[in-house]
Structure 1
Amino acid sequence: MDLLVRSLPEPLQRFDTYIDFIGQWKAEIIYEVIITASAIFGFCRGYLAQQVSVAVNSVLVGFLIASVIVIPPWPFFRRNPIEGSIQTLLVSAFK
């Protein structure tokens, strides 16, 4: 990821690109809720309209909404900074 960030133009390199562990957990929950809700909504809507395309389109819209919310490293996913280095975390995890 660092190689990719270094290849970007200078103004874009200033943005933080990490998400902390709690932010990853929140992102996963948000993604799952949005996808599940859009699938249930799409199934009901598609059943009432008797068209599979309506259900598929609802799920795709849910996927796009979830992607816009979850993929960028928004500041609310970085509220709990990672303390120490990765080596320190790995050593403490295997003790």
Structure 2
Amino acid sequence: MDFIKNIPTHLDYEGQARAEKLSRIIITLFGAVGLIWGYIIQQFSQTVYILGAGFLLAALLTLPPWPMYRRKPLNWQPARVGEGNASTTKEASKKSKKKN
């Protein structure tokens, strides 16, 4: 179970853009090739099969969080301990005044 919890599941913003661009290129390329091949042999089913293969390839290459999509992670600032949001503290003080 620890192995599954340690699998990274995030992408950085540039990796996400790269994955989206790659998937669009793959699906468009396979769609065009499938359309041409299906027209040549007069079988629309071949077009659908080729497009489906392109979709599966694009999903395999872009859906998992491969390391090539996690090269530039964001460095977040550490959370401040003990300080609440200003609106939260105002609401809390109003509630405590109403109770008294």
Identify the TM-score tier after normalising by the shorter chain: 0.7 to 0.9
Per the alignment, residue 29 of structure 1 pairs with 21
Confirm or deny that 1:79 pairs with 2:66. no
Q: How many residues align?
A: 78
Confirm or deny that 1:57 pairs with 2:27. no
Q: Which runs of 5+ in 2 are unaligned?
A: 80-100
- Per-residue deviation, residues 21-67 of structure 1 (Å, max 9, x unmatched): 00000000000000000000000000001010000000000000000
The whole-number CA distance in structure 2 between the counterparts of 1:83 and 1:44 is 47
The whole-number CA distance in structure 2 between the counterparts of 1:58 and 1:67 is 14
Identity %: 35
The structure 1 segments of at least 4 consecutive aligned residues displaced by more than 2 Å after TM superposition are none
Q: 49-58 or 10-19: which moved more?
A: 10-19
Q: Which has the larger radius of gyration?
A: 2
Per the alignment, residue 92 of structure 1 pairs with none
State the SS of the aligned residue for 2:59: helix
